[in-house]
Structure 1
Amino acid sequence: MANGAETTVGQALRHGARLLRDDAGLAAEQAREIVRAAPDSADGWRLLGAALRRLGDDEEASDAELRAIAASVRDPGLMQAATALVDNDLPTAEAILRPHLKAKPTDVAAIRMMAELAARVGRLGDAENLLRRALELAPAFAAARANLATVLYRQNKPVEALAELDRLEAEAGPEISQQNLKAAALGRLGSYEEAITLYRQVLDRQPMQPKIWMSYGHMLKTVGRRDEGIAAYRRAIALAPALGEAWWSLANLKTVRLCGADIAEMQAALETPGLSDEDRLHLHFALGKAHEDEGEARAAFRHYAEGNRLRRTQIRYDPTEIVEHCRRSEALFTADFLAAGAGATAPRPEPGNAAPDPIFIVGLPRSGSTLVEQILASHPLVEGTMELPDLPAMVRRLAGPEARGGRSLYPDCLAGMDGEALRALGAEYLERTRIQRRTDRPYFIDKMPNNWAHVGLIRLILPTAKIVDARRHPLACGFSNFKQHFARGQAFAYSLEEIGAYYRDYVGLMRHFDRAAPGMVHRVIHERLVEHPEGEIAALLDFLGLPFDPACLRFHETERAVRTASSEQVRRPLSRDGLEQWRDYGAWLGPLKAVLGDIVEAYPEVPEK
């Protein structure tokens, strides 16, 4: 366009913006003139969309907004930013997008790109806010709504994600990627059969999708349809022999034994040109399990070590943060503080929410916590749910934004809370977890192992809730974590030294609470539970105030969804087979033993009654 024409369009846009403040009808007429003269003017289409919204003509407004987006993506600057995003050159993309949005804050295409950038660096809350702003400006922008659903899912907001996905489906019909996300969100809410049906529908339409076969396998495994799950994983591998996560998913069933042919196929997959580190590390973990099944400890450990090495390079983990959290927790949660309640100067009734519903099972992953959960979920008064993310999410909010001096406000912030604030936190937890309840049983289980770090918070906000500490021999538990690749979280678990330090911190903090609030936590020693189940289960039920029920001894007959790595093991009777497996690897566990030190000799540590 000639400079004169550009000047004329610019003047018209400025005039249209002034009109928009006072007369949307005149602003719409001005905008129509602009887009007739300059059909590629994103600003003109945006002006028209805004004017039509104010006039209540939503259908035409949506059309104008989508035309504005289509014109924006042809902007040379945004094309450069898009190229930078494709190349994962985030600094370049940000350097282009920030000034662009400062000049054109309602450019929805640019807002969506900035949201993608924020999501890439883990600022999911910022990404959500940006996408909501984009949809406020252009409600029909389906790509932004699909992005929002993904960001909500990644923030453990499956209900909100499903709402966005349902709206997309209502407006444009079912789309494969969105149905796949919807199935995953349904699974997160415990609607497993509905998720399985949806995965099946997707695969009927697109049967050559290995990752969807793998997700389908995950869901089948969760509900105990083991053979179908294995077949789904095998189908994924047949379609993509180097898909490491599918191999690991198969190995992670624990009860599946991978054969020599599988080992050869995985070794060949490791030689695939351009194999990603993600596939490579999953293959190493799967090969470790396969060689372990063959009794080849040296080869198994070599693969486990390489898988851990690769995974450790991908994650940020600072062990000193746990040390500092434990130090501050011990300083805050003294015996007097726990007895009196936060902010009290003298003993008084505890201030938190009095609901007795939750049973928290804490400890380390791979400590036998899923077994304890399965036993309790076999009781007619107790509902098993899963590893609920709600308490950690509340803790992240209490910690405050990282910008505040880089120091978490949690747990110290609890000292200034009165009873009303603590009761509100307890009520929030109960409300957040209500979506996971499927029965009318009076008690439910929250089996998030890492909640050991938040026992003090639980005591304050839910003082009548029960806390069970599932503990396993430190070397057995430590090695079991080392050979486990976790789908998410557990950043401590990819180094023997860091596993040992984490275990020490856990034992130290639990020892503190044993002294500060005797009887608050009931400890289940895994080895004792395996050797003497009836007595240990009776003691556990007595602590919980529940009558003994023989179904708890027949826990392996209980049909329920189990999402953890122990899902298949807890569907079988108790066995001593896994108690001493770590001893075959003792020659390579020196770093773990060195950090644990006297913790090994002190095990099992049970508080005095």
Structure 2
Amino acid sequence: MGDHHTDQPLADPLAAAAHGRRLLADRPDLAALQAQEILSANPHFPPALRLLGAARRALGDDEAASEAELAAIDASTGDAELIQAGAALVANELPVAERILKARLKADPFDVAAIRMLAELAARIGRLQDAENLLRRAMELAPDFGGARANLATILYRQNRNVEALDLLEGLSDESGFGLSQRNLRAATLSRLGGYDEAIALYRDVLEKAPKQAKVWMSLGHLLKTVGNQEEAVAAYRQSVALQPDFGEAWWSLANLKTVRFVDADVAAMQSALGGDDLAPDDQLHLEFALGKAAEDRRDHDAAWAHYAKANRIRAAQLRHDPDQISKAVDRAIALFTPEFFAKRQGWGCPADDPIFILGMPRAGSTLIEQILASHPQVEGTMELPDIITMSRELAGKDDQGMGADLYPEILADLDADQIAALGRDFLDRTRIHRKEGRPFFIDKMPNNWMHAGFIRLILPKARIIDARRHPLACGYSNFKQHFARGQSFAYRLDHFGRYYADYCRLMAHLDTVQPGAVTRIIHEDLVDDPDSRIRALLDRMGLPFDQRCIDFHQTERAVRTASSEQVRRPITKAGLDSWKAHEPHLDPLKHALGHWLQDWTAPSPA
């Protein structure tokens, strides 16, 4: 090596590797020689392997670079510090792991294995943006590191950035060591994007290779339910609980079909699972919800309420909903969206009329309205799209955990006409992947978009907005007996639901005042009582010609992702409309929280 290396002593291989790093920018050939000299004495020294990889990549030899980079990661698995950090992660001793990993990266910022472990720690505590940044750095240093690629896809999936996640998963091969897990994640991602048939095929392939996976059987059941294959969905859920009898979510998935009636053996199995040692809270709450459904089907109303109440107490404690936050957000929206605000921005926004937003409360009949409209040849039903909520969070300056600045909705007042129009186009761009059928109109059925109805009206003034509304006691009870996969934290206490419902009515009444006629309100009870005339009126309000298929909506074959998927595949029935009345003695907290909205819930703008 001689003069080229200024006699850098190899007695200290870490110092020698650091010296090689300094050579990288100008003389990668010399850096490679330095790495090889270190490796001749210590063939598995990770810093030297990383140096060799970086040098080979700078010299354009990507294959040799990848070999060295991956060898460095493999060599790091035997490192005492990383083993200690890994043990701390396994034991959930996160401060210990963080201290070790940060010290490690301060000494060697190119240690890809340590970077990936720190990303895992960040993801564990909900700092998804930090985890993403770390994993992108890991992939920059070792582009063929399948572990970092798979982890990054998971982080993007958790942020609802499904197209990006899918692109990353395309680059993973079975040879990378992530065959089954990447198939699972790919299937879950595809299902979010409406690729149900491909997702089902992937889950079947996974289960053919590894059939004893209760969670994967459940995931397959979810997709089979979505596409309307109820018989196979039931079989998949049954297989899941056969493999794991205390798997509460799989039992609840059976109950959530709404069409399955549990037999005595099912009830006994669930009760036995509830009595097991070390039952996880999530399994317990799902079992309680499922047993509540079983009791309700048997008209044992006291037992049903007892099970639902236990389930809700567990879930409410987990979520810690703050109703004051919702009330303050509604106050801010009402203060911003005045007649003067909209008058000043007349003619602004993206002029596209493609979207139909169905919003309101969960379990208020929105899936029925969607099924009716999606039966029309000009309208495509998609799913509950997260994009409006994501856009509002980005405008607010919040991170993926809702932390940070809180600039929304007031920031909208600072945007000019071009920026407002761009937001409308951005929504159309984000949602285009969900439009598979090329129809002129499409539905976004996210109920929580009611909070952003003013925002929608601003950026997409020609979009149609439907407010799906149901009697507050019927809706409240229906939510109370429903476990939601995510979100809807207000639904697990009756008083919280009442506050939320009242705030929702309050904001929608305000919009009726400042933008008369912008929102079409559909009362669920009216639709069920007189479907033919109400459907005709709805089509007319949407500017759509009458089509008999909308009356015969239950014959429409399409994917439906919500809890009402099986109900909308049958004709409209009045059964269940008054089921709340059997539990009315328990509903006083809901009534009190509703205030005057208990009487005024159908009124567009009560005094």
Shorter-chain TM-score above 0.5: yes
CA 1:174 to 1:78, structure 2 compared with 1: closer, same or farther past 3 Å?
closer
Question: Shift in Å at residue 221 of structure 1?
Answer: 0.3
Give the structure 2 partner of residue 453 of structure 1. Answer: 451
Structure 1 residue 177 and structure 2 residue 181: aligned? yes
Give the structure 1 partner of residue 5 of structure 2. Answer: none
Q: Deviations over 1:409-460 (max 9, x none)?
A: 0000000101100111000000110000011211000000000000111011
Instruction: Give the SS at the match of 1:380.
Output: coil
Distance 1:466 1:607 in 2: 20
Structure 1 residue 398 and structure 2 residue 395: aligned? yes
Instruction: Give runs of aligned pairs for residues 206-605 of structure 1, distance below 5 A.
Output: 206-341=210-345, 349-401=346-398, 407-605=405-603
The residue type paired with residue 30 of structure 1 is Q
Question: Shift in Å at residue 239 of structure 1?
Answer: 1.1
Distance 2:544 2:12 in 1: 80
Tell me which moved more, 512-521 or 597-606. Answer: 597-606
Give the structure 2 partner of residue 346 of structure 1. Answer: none
Distance 2:12 2:201 in 1: 57
Distance 1:409 1:163 in 2: 32
Question: Shift in Å at residue 68 of structure 1?
Answer: 1.6
Give the structure 1 partner of residue 59 of structure 2. Answer: 55
The residue type paired with residue 149 of structure 2 is R
CA 1:25 to 1:406, structure 2 compared with 1: closer, same or farther past 3 Å?
closer
Tell me which moved more, 4-13 or 386-395. Answer: 4-13
Distance 1:170 1:404 in 2: 36
Distance 2:121 2:408 in 1: 29
Instruction: Give runs of aligned pairs for residues 5-154 of structure 1, distance below 5 A.
Output: 7-154=11-158
The residue type paired with residue 382 of structure 1 is V
Question: Shift in Å at residue 310 of structure 1?
Answer: 1.3
> What is the TM-score when the length of structure 2 is the normalising length?
0.95
Gaps of 5+ in 1: 342-348
The residue type paired with residue 266 of structure 2 is D
Question: Shift in Å at residue 55 of structure 1?
Answer: 0.9
Distance 1:59 1:38 in 2: 22
CA 1:197 to 1:14, structure 2 compared with 1: closer, same or farther past 3 Å?
closer
Q: Kindly report the root-mean-square deviation, in angstroms, between the aligned alpha carbons of the 2 structures.
A: 1.8
Task: Give yes or no for contact 2:21–2:31 (8 Å, CA) kept in 1.
Answer: yes
Tell me which moved more, 311-320 or 272-281. Answer: 311-320
> What is the TM-score when the length of structure 1 is the normalising length?
0.95
The residue type paired with residue 63 of structure 1 is E
Distance 1:404 1:113 in 2: 24
Distance 1:607 1:11 in 2: 74
CA 1:205 to 1:192, structure 2 compared with 1: closer, same or farther past 3 Å?
same
Task: Give yes or no for contact 1:309–1:494 (8 Å, CA) kept in 2.
Answer: yes
Instruction: Give the SS at the match of 1:487.
Output: coil
Question: Shift in Å at residue 74 of structure 1?
Answer: 2.8
Question: Shift in Å at residue 133 of structure 1?
Answer: 1.1
Question: Shift in Å at residue 495 of structure 1?
Answer: 1.2
The residue type paired with residue 600 of structure 2 is A
CA 1:73 to 1:174, structure 2 compared with 1: closer, same or farther past 3 Å?
closer
Distance 1:149 1:398 in 2: 24
CA 1:406 to 1:66, structure 2 compared with 1: closer, same or farther past 3 Å?
closer
Q: Deviations over 1:477-525 (max 9, x none)?
A: 1111111111111111111111111111101111110111110101000
The residue type paired with residue 399 of structure 1 is A
Instruction: Give the SS at the match of 1:546.
Output: coil
Instruction: Give the SS at the match of 2:559.
Output: coil
Gaps of 5+ in 2: 1-7
Tell me which moved more, 192-201 or 13-22. Answer: 13-22
Distance 1:457 1:533 in 2: 31
Task: Give yes or no for contact 2:494–2:590 (8 Å, CA) kept in 1.
Answer: yes
Question: Shift in Å at residue 227 of structure 1?
Answer: 0.7
- For this pair of structures, how many residues does the alignment match? 598
Distance 2:536 2:526 in 1: 13
Question: Shift in Å at residue 603 of structure 1?
Answer: 3.0
The residue type paired with residue 510 of structure 1 is M
Instruction: Give the SS at the match of 1:168.
Output: coil
Task: Give yes or no for contact 2:255–2:261 (8 Å, CA) kept in 1.
Answer: yes
Question: Shift in Å at residue 188 of structure 1?
Answer: 0.9
Task: Give yes or no for contact 1:378–1:552 (8 Å, CA) kept in 2.
Answer: yes
Task: Give yes or no for contact 1:340–1:350 (8 Å, CA) kept in 2.
Answer: no
